[in-house]
Structure 1
Amino acid sequence: MAVAETAGGLDPVLAFSLVGALGVGSQWLAWKLRLPAIVLMLVAGLLIGPALGVLDPALQFGDMLSPMVAIAVAIILFEGGLTLNLETLRDAAVGVRRLVFVGAPLGWIASTAALHYVAGLSWEGAAVFGGIMIVTGPTVIAPLLRQARLSKRPAALLQWEAIVNDPVGALAAVLAFEVVIVLQTATGGAHAVQQLVIGIGFATILGLGAGWGIARSFRNAWVPEYMKVPVLFVVLIAIFALSNAVLHESGLLAVTIMGIWIANADLPSYTELRRFKEHATVLLVSGVFILLAAGMSLETLMTLDWRAAAFVLSVILIARPLPVLIALAFSNVPWKERLLVAFTGPRGVVLVAVAGLFGERLVQLGIEDADRIAPLAFALVAATVVLHGFTLTPLAHALGLTAGRKPGVMILGGSRWSVALAKALQKLELPVIIADPNHAHLRSAREAGIETFFGDILSEAAEHKLELATYEKLVCATDNDAYNTLVATDLAPEFGRENVLQLKRVKQSSTRHALPSTLGGRAIGADETFFEANARLAQGWEFRVTQLTEEFGMEQWREKNPEAIVTAELGPNGTLRLLGPKDSPKGSKGAQILALMPTRDTRKEVQNGADRAGGQAGA
């Protein structure tokens, strides 16, 4: 059977599935290869679009393409607003506040100037595109930080700047766009101001009212739990459409303000809502990026001349560093950290999605050079992601701002077993921290020189004070099985489910108390309970580290240590594996094995006892 096609190419359903497969597939492949996802999506979109001509979004989707992209961008900007907690910003470091309140406006001005004087855009297009260029891309920054393993303060500066400036940049672009629309459509100056005030005022009131209504209805249980996300989506789209009906494209401003209100409403179900929105945003960002890349024509790409290259260089060398250095001047941020932040500004898919939409709208308003906004956005994103992806780690090393290249382990619970495991991990030169809500439980860890955190690991204080990017694995090992399961379940999306482990629950084998596999973490070591694991140490067991060589491999080690329980393996390439009862170490040459085994004295006593028993039996 032939592949379904329309008169102009692929069937719309097939085209839609192709976009989804390429978007999500590119992100999965990027995760597997540890590459920036945006680069692979850019290659995939350009390959099926301008290069091979397999997909032409305007042809396949027709009149539906523009509203599809507009609604997707509205949801993306709403999710950006949903991440902006004003209380968090108020408690943030001085450097973060300066980057937001001083650096963002200066960045807008500098970017607008670069777009006008270097790239040659008109002031209208430059002002709109310059606003969205404030966004440094939280979805791009996070993987780069994990890869570079920066020390705490510069990592926090970059991360919080990206999170907070995400909605700020969107607001800047939307406001600039509203001004352009009014100036282009109004009959006079007074009418322009009137239209602008009415449109922005209505969008603001509508966004605040919708946010307040959603928060009130969710808090008072007027909406059942299973319908909260669908209701949120419907209200979001309705607010977007209603605001647009009053002033064109003001709906983007309304939904961003709606998201900010909900983020600060302190809803009990806020975490679940934000997590679902993040998942939806990943899908939408992937789809929009593939569509925009595939929709580029060869003629449009050919407009990327020397002025485009000069524009990218001016942003990397001037428009990004200068506002950051001015914003952080005379602050308590050391000059090395200022330099690192100033020369690290990767842009993400949100910039391309919003810039592509606004560029199209500006062209419809009669601003002809606005059709260059989309290719300039692609060029800026590709250049900054590739550049920072390969230079951030060497730059951080040169400035001495890395927290260590080896993967760290966070241990929950300050028991004897946890301290012993932490000390063994320190012998492997791995970053390790023990957290416990009971201050007395941390005494042994502090005396052993292990870094500790006193407090609830799920609290906002932990989110702000702990450098989570340093830790790749989480081991839940308190004496409270329910708390271990709660933390493992809640932080599994953060660390990855395969990287979250916990001690066996006391009543785990009972059918009455069995939990589904979606709750809790993987087993570690011999899969023992808290009490069994600590009792084993009291009986004379210890954690020991052994390095395998060509002469002394895994088989020789196992023959010498038949009772040992392998708990972790650090590969020769620095990869850490925490092992459970069903996992086997790879045993590569140069790997280091961390195992729980009887102490030498204990083994001697056991052996002497066995010899005496054998002698008595022989007598």
Structure 2
Amino acid sequence: MPELLGSISAAVASHERNTMLITVVGAIAAGAILIVLSHRLRVPAIVLLLLGGIGLGPAGVGVVDPESLGDGLLVVVSLAIGLILFEGGLTLDLGGYRSAPAMIKRLLTIGVATTWFTTAAVVWWIFDLAAPQAIVAGSLVIVTGPTVIAPLLKRIKVTPRLHSILHWEGVLIDPLGVFIALLCFEWVFSGATGPEALLNFGIRLGAGLSIGVGGGVIMTVLVRRKLVPTETINIFALAGAMLVFGIAEMVRSEAGLLSVTIAGFIFSLSGSYRVKKVREFKADITDLLIGTLFLLLAARLSFDQFREFGLRGVAVVALVMLGVRPLSIFLCSFGLDLKRKEKLFLSWVAPRGIVAASMASLVTITLEELDYENPRFVETFVYSVIISTIVIQGLTAAPLARWLGVQRAKPVGWMIVGAHRFGRGLAEFLTKTAELPVVLVDTNPRAVRESHRAGLTAIIADAREPDLGERLEVEAVGNLLALTDNEDLNVRLCTTWSDVLGSDHVFRCNPKGTETAVAGDDEDETRGMVVWPKLPRPSLIASELQRREANLLTATAEDAAITRIASPLIAVEPSGVVFDPDIDRESDEPDPRPMLYLQRSVDYLRRAIRPELVVRIEESLELRRLLERLVDRAVSVYPALPREETVAELIEREAGFPTALGHGVAVPHAYSPALDTRLCVVAQIPAGMDFSAHDGKPVRLLFMLLSPQGDPEGHLATLAEIARRMMVTELRERIMQASSPLEVIELLRMGQT
């Protein structure tokens, strides 16, 4: 008999494990598949997850049975919500909140309170529900889910102001709503009253804040000091989030959700590129968690509980959608400059999402454990609001936006890839003169910070990222200008964005002398239209602008003083922006077009040469003595130049890499931290000197170039200019025969190409 009972017990245990395994595997697999399918069909993922959960759950085919997980379901739900909120903390943007209009801040205060207590009053009045349970029910529909509102906004494309309000409301209200719901639940159902309830509130708040801040700071320090290898940064962040959640839960139950949200926010403030990688990884994990979690929770639902909700339930949901939300918008917008049609649209659109559903199920599971009367009411109410707002508002939002005239016009803004000084100058012109929205995109944090200091919109991102177009800053972009030194990258950016913006709205620079090796037909319009083909690399122009060796000037084509000394880059016309405008067009009419000109001091060599730096050497000298003499001439002009160190660096470079160009020309060169300007000493050597030139000819013209330590662009450009000019045989001979320093300088000026 004992053996039989043991066999039965083992079989039951095996069946339970098998059921649990099937439930977990089914929820993960089906959740992921339905999320992929929702992206394919362009419908809210929560709709498919809800239908899939009910269909696979006990009310359907019974593949997913949440009850088989027992108490483990509560653990899974809590941990999943914690990781979702950690990802939400990573995406919180303090700068975005600070720059947010007053409407958003009111929605997070007045709007939250209005939605909470008005909904509670409606539920209490219609269902004659106990006040504590009504208050908890009201707290659970505060949040408008960002996982639902983001795809909706992407599809209907409303005006930037409405987009900003709805986007930031969804992003910022999520963690706030969760915290309020948890505190409300603790206050109402813990059994504590008066001082004890306040003490529990303070402990949970203090534990969540302190552990979250501490965990976020520790994670940030470890990453900043590069104590975490790059290849393990994602798993480190995941483990850190779980550890913070666990410690907070050990200190105080339900404090973990607040702590992971705070930890994610603190961690995101480091602004590290590694944090960006973590954010991308966590977004993928969050999608998987949302799919699994919502499928498990939806599988708990049954059609019976919605039937029991009845007409009174329909009335409650209708009042929440048609009464509570409009009242909240009216109170929040009072005294602000929102138009009536904008208020009407905001009053209608407020879809709830996964966080509201998760918290409702979490509360229901806890109430069931406490044997509370009608514990499923809260879950039924919240899911009814979620289904109604997603389905009804999701289907009607676009027609309503068109009817109200709040859909965004065709975007005319610009994305400039390259936040260097040249890119910033173009952005300033387009923003101030053309009055067009511009966003600069760069992976260089320093360049982005400089853009922000200049009052420009800029983001740290890789412009090749497919989800970049979903960012709020890029909503008004209708044109792309790829302004990097990498021609291959410029082509690829144009190819990528031509699918989004259209092939006639993507432009790229093709730096002079940097022909691309990208395969394909050069006439392929998806590769972008080439602008300013005669200009050098954008970074070179940026360096010139930084050193004030070039200037960006705003004028019209009628300004003859500007047109004589500068080249036109952009003209603003009623039809839009024109690159490489024709300023010599045949017309009797004046040309009032505002234009951006580039004035460059391209004569690097002439700027580095002075009459006192030109020397003629008749006697024969060995290499060291020759270089010492030339350095002495440079020191006479710039006394701070260290003589011995400079001579030593020149000789060392000659020993390793001889600088003879051939044709009787050599260019010994070096950097010096003592310099703040370039110096070029020109030596005429009629007798010639052996520099081990590849053509075997003795050097008769020598250009010794010394540049500041931090000026590689100007240094290389000057070397290139010397090499380019010395290719002209006649010019070389005339310089060699020049009888004075001024004649040498004049010949170099005349030889400019």
TM-score (norm. length: structure 2): 0.58
Asked if 1:178 is matched to 2:178, the reply is no
Where in structure 2 are the equivalents of 1:153-552 lying within 5 Å?
A: 153-182=161-190, 184=191, 186=192, 189-404=194-409, 412-413=415-416, 437-440=423-426, 451=436, 453=438, 455-456=440-441, 461-462=457-458, 468-469=474-475, 475=480, 477-478=482-483, 480-481=485-486, 484=489, 506=514, 509=517, 526=524
Instruction: Give the counterpart letter for 2:25 in structure 1.
Output: S
Compared with structure 1, are the counterparts of its residues 477 and 268 closer, same or farther at alpha carbon in structure 2 (3 Å cutoff)? Answer: closer
Instruction: Give the counterpart letter for 1:439 in structure 2.
Output: G
2:111 aligns to what?
103
CA contact (8 A) 1:171 1:256 kept: no
CA contact (8 A) 2:27 2:64 kept: no
> Any stretches of 5+ residues in structure 2 without a counterpart?
1-12, 460-469, 535-753
Q: 1:217 deviation in Å?
A: 1.8
Instruction: Give the counterpart letter for 1:161 in structure 2.
Output: E
User: 1:531-580 deviations in whole A, cap 9, x for unaligned?
Assistant: 967669xxxxxxxxxxxxxxxxxxxxxxxxxxxxxxxxxxxxxxxxxxxx
User: In structure 2, how many angstroms separate the alpha carbons of the residues matched to 1:112 and 1:398?
Assistant: 33
1:571 aligns to what?
none
User: In structure 2, how many angstroms separate the alpha carbons of the residues matched to 1:338 and 1:244?
Assistant: 41
1:581 aligns to what?
none
1:118 aligns to what?
126
Compared with structure 1, are the counterparts of its residues 53 and 122 closer, same or farther at alpha carbon in structure 2 (3 Å cutoff)? Answer: farther
CA contact (8 A) 1:77 1:256 kept: yes
- Secondary structure of the structure 2 residue equivalent to 1:401: coil
Compared with structure 1, are the counterparts of its residues 374 and 528 closer, same or farther at alpha carbon in structure 2 (3 Å cutoff)? Answer: closer
Q: 1:528 deviation in Å?
A: 8.8
Instruction: Give the counterpart letter for 1:28 in structure 2.
Output: V
CA contact (8 A) 1:476 1:487 kept: no
Instruction: Give the counterpart letter for 1:363 in structure 2.
Output: E
Instruction: Give the counterpart letter for 2:474 in structure 1.
Output: L
Q: 1:269 deviation in Å?
A: 2.6
User: 1:501-553 deviations in whole A, cap 9, x for unaligned?
Assistant: 8869857638xxx9xxxxxxx999627977967669xxxxxxxxxxxxxxxxx
Give the aligned length. Answer: 493
User: In structure 2, how many angstroms separate the alpha carbons of the residues matched to 1:334 and 1:125?
Assistant: 37
Compared with structure 1, are the counterparts of its residues 129 and 444 closer, same or farther at alpha carbon in structure 2 (3 Å cutoff)? Answer: closer
CA contact (8 A) 2:413 2:476 kept: no
User: In structure 1, how many angstroms separate the alpha carbons of the residues matched to 2:341 and 2:521?
Assistant: 42
- Secondary structure of the structure 2 residue equivalent to 1:369: coil
2:685 aligns to what?
none
> Any stretches of 5+ residues in structure 1 without a counterpart?
416-435, 515-521, 537-619
- Secondary structure of the structure 1 residue equivalent to 2:438: strand
Compared with structure 1, are the counterparts of its residues 441 and 308 closer, same or farther at alpha carbon in structure 2 (3 Å cutoff)? Answer: closer
CA contact (8 A) 1:112 1:130 kept: yes
User: In structure 2, how many angstroms separate the alpha carbons of the residues matched to 1:219 and 1:479?
Assistant: 28
Q: 1:64 deviation in Å?
A: 2.5
Asked if 1:130 is matched to 2:135, the reply is no
CA contact (8 A) 2:427 2:440 kept: no
Asked if 1:74 is matched to 2:82, the reply is yes
Q: 1:17 deviation in Å?
A: 3.1
CA contact (8 A) 1:475 1:502 kept: yes
2:585 aligns to what?
none
Compared with structure 1, are the counterparts of its residues 480 and 128 closer, same or farther at alpha carbon in structure 2 (3 Å cutoff)? Answer: farther
Compared with structure 1, are the counterparts of its residues 414 and 209 closer, same or farther at alpha carbon in structure 2 (3 Å cutoff)? Answer: closer
CA contact (8 A) 1:208 1:257 kept: yes
Q: Which moved more, 1:136-145 or 1:356-365?
A: 356-365
Compared with structure 1, are the counterparts of its residues 299 and 228 closer, same or farther at alpha carbon in structure 2 (3 Å cutoff)? Answer: same
Q: 1:452 deviation in Å?
A: 5.0
Compared with structure 1, are the counterparts of its residues 220 and 482 closer, same or farther at alpha carbon in structure 2 (3 Å cutoff)? Answer: farther
Instruction: Give the counterpart letter for 1:289 in structure 2.
Output: F
1:141 aligns to what?
149
User: 1:461-504 deviations in whole A, cap 9, x for unaligned?
Assistant: 34699663455x87553353279569959x99x989x9x98869
2:97 aligns to what?
89
Report the RMSD for the aligned CA atoms in angstroms.
Answer: 4.0
CA contact (8 A) 1:207 1:258 kept: yes
Instruction: Give the counterpart letter for 2:313 in structure 1.
Output: A
Q: 1:152 deviation in Å?
A: 1.2
User: In structure 1, how many angstroms separate the alpha carbons of the residues matched to 2:490 and 2:76?
Assistant: 40
Among 16, 19, 33, the alignment partner of 1:25 is: 33
Q: 1:343 deviation in Å?
A: 1.6
Compared with structure 1, are the counterparts of its residues 444 and 319 closer, same or farther at alpha carbon in structure 2 (3 Å cutoff)? Answer: closer
CA contact (8 A) 1:145 1:469 kept: no
User: In structure 1, how many angstroms separate the alpha carbons of the residues matched to 2:440 and 2:120?
Assistant: 45
CA contact (8 A) 2:26 2:64 kept: no
Q: 1:137 deviation in Å?
A: 0.9
Q: 1:309 deviation in Å?
A: 1.1
User: In structure 2, how many angstroms separate the alpha carbons of the residues matched to 1:173 and 1:481?
Assistant: 51
Compared with structure 1, are the counterparts of its residues 483 and 356 closer, same or farther at alpha carbon in structure 2 (3 Å cutoff)? Answer: farther
Larger Rg: 2
Q: 1:380 deviation in Å?
A: 0.9
- Structure with greater contact order relative to length (CA < 8 Å, sep ≥ 6): 1
- Secondary structure of the structure 2 residue equivalent to 1:480: coil
TM-score (norm. length: structure 1): 0.70
Q: 1:292 deviation in Å?
A: 0.7
Q: 1:457 deviation in Å?
A: 6.6
CA contact (8 A) 1:504 1:527 kept: no
Instruction: Give the counterpart letter for 2:146 in structure 1.
Output: P
User: In structure 2, how many angstroms separate the alpha carbons of the residues matched to 1:207 and 1:142?
Assistant: 27
Q: 1:348 deviation in Å?
A: 1.0
CA contact (8 A) 1:74 1:252 kept: yes
Instruction: Give the counterpart letter for 2:382 in structure 1.
Output: A
Compared with structure 1, are the counterparts of its residues 87 and 366 closer, same or farther at alpha carbon in structure 2 (3 Å cutoff)? Answer: farther
Q: 1:440 deviation in Å?
A: 4.2
Instruction: Give the counterpart letter for 2:524 in structure 1.
Output: A
User: 1:50-102 deviations in whole A, cap 9, x for unaligned?
Assistant: 44232242344344322112110111122223332333211211222222232
User: In structure 2, how many angstroms separate the alpha carbons of the residues matched to 1:391 and 1:306?
Assistant: 23
Q: 1:358 deviation in Å?
A: 2.0
- Secondary structure of the structure 2 residue equivalent to 1:31: helix
1:15 aligns to what?
23
CA contact (8 A) 1:504 1:530 kept: no
Percent of paired sites with the same residue: 27
Q: 1:242 deviation in Å?
A: 2.5
CA contact (8 A) 2:508 2:529 kept: no
- Secondary structure of the structure 1 residue equivalent to 2:43: coil
Instruction: Give the counterpart letter for 1:312 in structure 2.
Output: V
Instruction: Give the counterpart letter for 1:211 in structure 2.
Output: G
